[in-house]
Chains A and B, each alone.
Chain A
Amino acid sequence: MSATTTSEAKGFQPRIVAFVCNWCTYTGADLAGTSRLQMASIVRIIRLPCTGRIDPLFIIKAFERGADGVIVSGCHPADCHYTAGNYHARRRFAVAREIFDFMGIDPRRITFSWVSASEGGKWAEVVNDTTARVRELGPFTAYREMAARTA
């Protein structure tokens, strides 16, 4: 918690959670790291087998627990390790995104991307874009205040 206080003193550091698939984006993010690409260091990565395993509820849960932004990323179409997980995920997220928006959650807080194992550069871009966008939107105070109001 004390880390938050110090970082807030230095300006707003968004909390961003990334749900990524094991086969493409996670490996891509690894490549970005080993290639020593410059990117924001505030993204917490959660690795899952496939974007098909990423339930929109994960995104809700991340916001519930204080995230300011969320990234969901996996294999490009036709590249899914499980053949079609990303196609299913694509439909699900397309709908989820519009419903989040309808309930008042700014869709700019959520990034969806396809990042392959060889696209370390693209991962760095996704992270930097998202960080900049969320930083501009500011902390997700509305959700956090709502989440804390438990009476």
Chain B
Amino acid sequence: MSAKTLTQADLTSLVSDILAADKRVVAPSLVGIGPLEHIEYRPLHKAEDMVLDRGLPKRSIKEMFFPPTEVVFRWKQKKSDVAIDEIPTTFQQTVVIGALPCDAAAPGIVDRVMNWDYRDELWNGRREATTIVAMACDGGDKSCFCTAVGLGPESSKGADLLLTPVKAGYHVDVLTPKGEELVSKYSKRFGEAKSADEAKKYQEAARKKVEGNLSFDAPKMRAWLEGNFENEYWRTIALRCHGCGTCATMCPTCHCFDIVDENEGVLAGERRRNWDTCQTGKFTLHGSGHNPRHDQNARFRQRVTHKFAIYPGKFGEILCTGCGRCQRQCPGGMDLLEILGDIARMAGGAA
């Protein structure tokens, strides 16, 4: 669609404007103490809390659409009757600012399953209330592989606006009607586009930086995964895996949840859904004591297969945006890039 320019100062003012209009702004900001200080996507209290120059936040954007825990409904028992309190599925208007392309693309991929055989009102309510202003990435580090899954450091997938850093501030690509709306509402903050070439250069350099990290032929990989469930390769794949599930916690596209009931006394309670992960033994443990995914090797196979074969088979998209968090943050040193590279070689699709 169209393009604009935004200076650093105007971006700060834009955030203040949106906050003043009683909307929520989510952006990378500092949390934690001392050596544990890091950036996470957080609702901002003021524009100055936004931190856009520290790369990828530790956790992905997913929790803004799918919180670690949320109430699905509340119930009260009255004699032999049960009254259900529905949870509102409309949410405060939110603008996410500074989502990196690997995060911005993720909700759109998860949309498929959240609107498949059942329309998930809580997910969709938050999606509809949210405008995503993505920030083109500088190419990240050696753990990034967005280009291998069909995205890239400049990918605009899932973004309503895409900012690309330029000398004058940001070059802005306006991509969707939601993006148009934001630009026209706060038009005084945006200037005429004049850095398109500079932005393009930035994006090309970023892509070059990340491209060498990994590449594979996705259809061939899928075919290999579908035909090699019992392959010897899986038997020792996850020796160093602790089963801590940090990969799934960090992942922008992992979306499994558990449903629990929490009672308040004996006559009332709430049903909640909480994050869950296929990397823990409890995930598939049967009441009988039998566990079909009996060890970490089987559980890690599931993670890879779901992302690169099952999901693409069902929904036509890889369930991964190449953000690299699962490798970067794994306390046991599990390396998805290495595993995908191995499979690509076995599948004959390595570039």
Contact = CB atoms under 8 A, between A and B. Distances in A.
- A/B touching: CB–CB < 8 A: yes
Interface of A: 150-151
Nearest to B70: A151
Contacts, number: 5
Nearest to B262: A150
Contacts of A151: 70-71
- Report, as a range, how many residues of chain B touch the other chain: under 10
Contacts of B69: 150
A151 B43 CA distance: 14
A130 to B, nearest CB: 25
5 contacts: A150-B69, A150-B71, A150-B270, A151-B70, A151-B71
A150 B71 CA distance: 9
B64 to A, nearest CB: 14
A103 to B, nearest CB: 15
Nearest to A148: B264
Contacts of A150: 69, 71, 270
A150 B69 CA distance: 9
Contacts of B270: 150
A84 B71 CA distance: 45
Nearest to B270: A150
A18 B270 CA distance: 28
B73 to A, nearest CB: 13
Interface string B264-280: 00000010000000000
A59 B69 CA distance: 25
Contacts of B71: 150-151
A11 to B, nearest CB: 25
A122 to B, nearest CB: 33
Nearest to B67: A151
A99 B150 CA distance: 50
Interface string B52-88: 0000000000000000011100000000000000000
A150 B264 CA distance: 12
Interface in B18-72: 69-71
A3 to B, nearest CB: 14
A99 B270 CA distance: 30
Interface in B259-298: 270
A150 B74 CA distance: 12
A151 B71 CA distance: 8
B72 to A, nearest CB: 13
A131 B226 CA distance: 67
A138 B70 CA distance: 32
A67 B244 CA distance: 34
